[in-house]
A and B are shown apart, each in its own frame.
Chain A
Amino acid sequence: MDEKQELLSLLSTDAREDIDDIARQLGTDAETVASLLDELESDGTVRGYQAVIDWDNTDSQHVAAFVELNVELDRETGYKEIADRIARFPAVESLRLVSGDYDFAIEVTGDSMQDVSQFISEQIAPIPEITQTVTHFIMETYKEAGIDFGDRDDDDRLSVSP
C-alpha cells in the first residue's frame, strides 16, 4: 500500500486522529500527512469528515427514510441531470443510482415522519421525470458506516498474560 492508500485506510477507520498521531502510525512526518491531506481534499478524494451518530441516544428528533425512485429518461434528461436536481435538497443525505428494480436510492432525513413525507410528496414526487416513489422509514439502526451500534467495549482478557 502506498502512503496515500494507507492514509485513506486509516481515515476510513478514524478520521478524528490528529495529524501528529496519523504521522506516527504511518511512520512518516506531520508535514507529509498535511500535504497528502491537502491533496486528497483538493482533488475531491476526501469529501468530508463526519461523526457516526446514534441519534437514538440523543433527545433530538431525527427521522430518516430510504426512498426508492423510479424515473423516466428522455432525449434531454439523463440520470445525471435528475440526480443534480435531487441532490440540491439539504434533506437528501445520500443519493445513489442503483441496479435492480428501481433507479435511485436516496436517504432523506427530517424532524418528524410528517416532515419527511411532506418533503417527498411536495419536493421529490413532483419532479416530472420521477414516475414512482417508495418510502421506507427507518425504524432502528443497528450498524452504520462499519460501526456496530450493539458493540460495547467489553475487554474480558486477562490484564496481564504471557
Chain B
Amino acid sequence: MTLQPNDRVATTPESGIRKFFELAEERDDVISLGVGEPDFSAPWAARTAAIHSLEEGKTSYTANRGKLELRQAIADHVSQWGHTYSPDSEILVTTGASEAVDLALRTFLDPGDTVAVHQPTYISYKPGVRFAGGEPLSVPTGADNDFVLTPEALREAGAAEADALIFCYPNNPTGAVMSADEIAAVAEFCVDNDIDVIADEIYAALTYDGDHTSIATMPNMRERTVVINGFSKAYAMTGLRLGYAMGPADAIEAMNRVHQYTMLSAPTTAQYAAIEALRSCQESINEMATEFNRRRRFVISRFEEMGLDCFTAKGAFYAFPACGGDDEAFAENLLEEQGVAVVPGSVFGPGGAGHLRISYATGMRDLKEAMTRIESFVADR
C-alpha cells in the first residue's frame, strides 16, 4: 500500500485528550476546565502592532533566527530569571515553543538515544522524542512529593544512563513548581551523569509563590541546557505561534540549521506582536497573573471543601486534584452528568492516574458554576 506511516508514527497513539475533546464538542452546555490556553486575548497593544505590521505590508520572511529587535527584547526580558543570552548568537525565535522542543530533539538526539521525561507531563514530549528517533524513558513524580522531580526518582528509573532530560516546571498538567534547592539537586544529577537538558519554561511567568528558577542558571548547567519559552501562555498569544530557544551559541547554531531548512523563519506578524508585547504589555501580563492567582486559590480551596485532595499548585494555570478512583471514568461521568469537561490525569502519563487536570483559565463566573457542579457530582457518588 502507498503512503504508509513509518513505524514510529504508526505506533504513536492518538492523544488521550482527543477523546474528551470530541465528547465535549457533542454538547453545547459544557463548562470546560479542559483548556490549555489562557481565556484572555493577547494584549491589545500587541494585537495593534500585528495589525500595523500587516498594513505596512510587512509580510515577508525574517532572518532565520528571528528579527534581531525581538531577540534583543527577549534577552532583556529573560534576564529577570538570571539568563544571559546573546541576541546575536544564543537566541532562536521559533514557531511556538513546540517547534523549539522538536528542533532540540532533532538536533541533539542520535538514533536510539534515551530521553528521560518526568511524568505526568505535557503530552507532546514522548511522541516528539520518538519522532526524532529517540527512546523516551518515563520518570515518575507523584502527589506524595508534590509532583517534584528528584535525583532518587531519576536514578530509580535508570535515567543515569539517559542522554537527555526534558524538564518542564512550572508543570503542565500539575501546576507544580520546584524550589531552587530541588532544581539544584536535579541539575547536579545531570552534571554528574552527563545529561543534556531541554528546559521547557513556557509557564515561567506564571508562578504564584516566588519567582521562577531556571535549571540553566545552576552551576555547570548553562553549557548543557537549551531553555525554551514563548509567548503563548504568559502573553495569551497561543494562536500566533511564537516561541524561542536559548542556549550556548554552538547549540543554537545547530538548531538554527534544522530550523532554516524546515521552517525558514517564525511567523513575521507574530514577531511584530511579540516585540510590542515585550515592550509595553507588562501591566496586562501582571493583571492576568493576578487574576490566575485568585482563581488558583479559589479552585484549590473549593476542592478541599469537597474533600478532594488537591496539593497546592504554585504555577501555570492548572490544579491537579485526586479524584479518589478511576480518573477516566470520573471525567467521562462528570461530563455526562454535569456538563463539566476536565482532562483525566492519566492522559499525561503514569503518575497522573487518579487525578484530574483542572484548568482555571476560565472566567470566575463559569469557574464557580463548574465547582458547584463538581461538588454535587462528588456528593452524589
A and B, one complex? yes
Give A contacts to B, CB under 8 Å: 9-10, 13-14, 17, 21, 24-27, 153, 155, 157-162
In the complex, the answer to whether A14 meets B364 with C-beta atoms within 8 Å is: yes
**5 CB-based A-B contacts, threshold 8 Å:** A25-B295, A153-B363, A159-B35, A161-B34, A161-B36
**Interface status of B8 (Cβ within 8 A of chain A):** no
User: Which residues of A are found within 8 Å of B295, using beta-carbon distances?
Assistant: 25
Instruction: Name the interface size band of chain B.
Output: 20 to 34
**Interface status of B25 (Cβ within 8 A of chain A):** yes
User: Which residues of B are found within 8 Å of A21, using beta-carbon distances?
Assistant: 298, 364, 368
In the complex, the answer to whether B301 meets A159 with C-beta atoms within 8 Å is: no
In the complex, the answer to whether B36 meets A162 with C-beta atoms within 8 Å is: yes
Bound complex: CA of A137 vs CA of B328, how far in Å? 59
In the complex, the answer to whether A160 meets B35 with C-beta atoms within 8 Å is: yes
Provide the B1-41 mask, 1 if CB < 8 A to any CB of A, else 0: 00000000000000101001100110000101011110100
Question: Residue of A at shortest CB range from B32?
Answer: A159
Cβ distance B314 to chain A, nearest Cβ, rounded Å:
12
In the complex, the answer to whether A155 meets B39 with C-beta atoms within 8 Å is: yes
In the complex, the answer to whether B36 meets A10 with C-beta atoms within 8 Å is: no
User: Which residues of B are found within 8 Å of A157, using beta-carbon distances?
Assistant: 35, 37, 39
User: Which residues of B are found within 8 Å of A159, using beta-carbon distances?
Assistant: 21, 24-25, 30, 32, 34-35, 341
If the complex has contacts A14-B364, A21-B368, A153-B363, are A160 and B297 also in contact, measured as CB distance less than 8 A? no
In the complex, the answer to whether A25 meets B35 with C-beta atoms within 8 Å is: no
In the complex, the answer to whether B34 meets A160 with C-beta atoms within 8 Å is: yes
Bound complex: CA of A162 vs CA of B35, how far in Å? 7
User: Which residues of B are found within 8 Å of A160, using beta-carbon distances?
Assistant: 17, 20-21, 24, 32, 34-35, 341, 343
Give B contacts to A, CB under 8 Å: 15, 17, 20-21, 24-25, 30, 32, 34-37, 39, 122-124, 172, 290-291, 294-295, 297-298, 301-302, 341, 343, 363-364, 368
Bound complex: CA of A24 vs CA of B122, how far in Å? 28
Question: Residue of B at shortest CB range from A27?
Answer: B297
Bound complex: CA of A17 vs CA of B363, how far in Å? 13
User: Which residues of B are found within 8 Å of A24, using beta-carbon distances?
Assistant: 297-298, 301-302
Which of these, A14, A26, A158, A161, contacts B297 with CB under 8 Å?
Answer: A26
Question: Residue of A at shortest CB range from B124?
Answer: A162
User: Which residues of B are found within 8 Å of A9, using beta-carbon distances?
Assistant: 290
User: Which residues of A are found within 8 Å of B15, using beta-carbon distances?
Assistant: 162
Cβ distance B342 to chain A, nearest Cβ, rounded Å:
9
Bound complex: CA of A25 vs CA of B290, how far in Å? 10
Which of these, B122, B290, B291, B297, contacts A162 with CB under 8 Å?
Answer: B122
Cβ distance A130 to chain B, nearest Cβ, rounded Å:
39
